[in-house]
Amino acid sequence: MKVVFHERFHEVYASDPAAAPGRMEAAAAPLRGVYEFVEPPPASDEDVLLVHTPSHLDYVKRLAKVYPIALLAVGGAIKASEIAMEGEPAFALIRPPGHHASPGSSWGFCYFNNVAIAVERLIRRGLIKRAVIVDFDLHFGDGTSEAFKGRSDVEYRHLPATGFIEDLDAFLRLRSYDVIAVSAGFDRALEDWGGLMKEEDYREVGRVIREHAERRCAGRRFAVLEGGYNHEVLGRNIKAFLEGLG
């Protein structure tokens, strides 16, 4: 298991909860010394255009503080996907998040759809034919859903509030895929906005994904950070998820 991280993710690029000071420090602290950290290069505009419209790219470019960090976040998701293709699981500890970024617009603290770009890039390069994207953030990833609307090669699944382990297990059992990508949002946590998921639940979700990946797609799996806003518990819950996923 590798953690993909860049020191520039400490920069406060906006005044929203995903960009809040101290969030990345809190998330990274329990992972340091446990997992190897690797630094991603920034993504290119060409990578962004795999999913987004030129006008959306231009909109983000005009947000001078956001744009360079958003390119690093996409680069982090891409790096994690590349590590996964080598058979090693990876977690992109990145911000801004991405699952509310549609091809032509974005909201909810998102700018570029990190996970969608990473998956689309693997497909366009001929490295995979099919993928599933599992999302356990509190919020539905409308951007990811929109990015792959009408496509049969990429299926997006937002886990329900209850029975999510059974739902995840059934979903992964019944689909075929070459990689499992995960939008890992931690705002469903018991002590976060959702008040739903315990530390053990995150470990179990990770474990179910690992088992299916090992059985069905040569172990190829990667996850990217989406939401998660209680700094007191974010790192602990990420660590539990990675213990299951790894």
The residue ranges that bind Zn ion (CB under 5 A) are 137-139, 185, 187, 227
For residue 33, the tally of other CB atoms under 10 A from its CB is 8
Shortest Å distance, C-beta 200 to Zn ion: 21
Q: Which residue's CB is nearer to Zn ion, number 120 or number 135?
A: 135
Residue nearest to Zn ion (CB): 227
**Residue 17 beta carbon to Zn ion: minimum distance, rounded to whole angstroms:** 9
Strand ordering across the sheet containing 36-38: 36-38, 2-4, 90-92, 221-225, 179-184, 131-135, 154-158
Report in angstroms how near the CB of residue 10 gets to Zn ion at its nearest: 21
Cα gap 177→175, rounded to integer Å: 7
Catalytic choice (56, 100, 139, 231): 100
Non-local CB neighbours of 197 within 8 Å, separated by 6+ positions: 136, 164, 186, 188, 189, 190, 237
**Residue with structure tokens 């090693």?**
88
Q: Which of 196, 178, 176 has the alpha carbon at shortest distance from 186?
A: 196
Q: Which is nearer to Zn ion, 83 or 110 (CB)?
A: 110
Q: Which is nearer to Zn ion, 139 or 220 (CB)?
A: 139
CA–CA distance, 163 with 218 (Å, rounded to integer): 27
Least distance between Zn ion and beta carbon 32 (Å): 25
Q: Which is nearer to Zn ion, 42 or 235 (CB)?
A: 235
In the complex with Zn ion, the residue whose CB is nearer, 82 or 187, is: 187
CA 134 to chain centre: 9
Residues 25 and 232 sit within 8 Å (Cβ to Cβ):
no
Burial of 120 (0-12, 13-18, 19+ CB in 10 A): buried
SS3 content of the chain, % helix, strand, coil (to 5): 45, 15, 40
> Smallest distance, Å, CB 229 to Zn ion?
8
Whether 231 is catalytic is no
Residues 6+ apart with CB under 8 A from 67: 60, 61
Q: And the tokens for 30?
A: 């329990």
Active site residues: 100
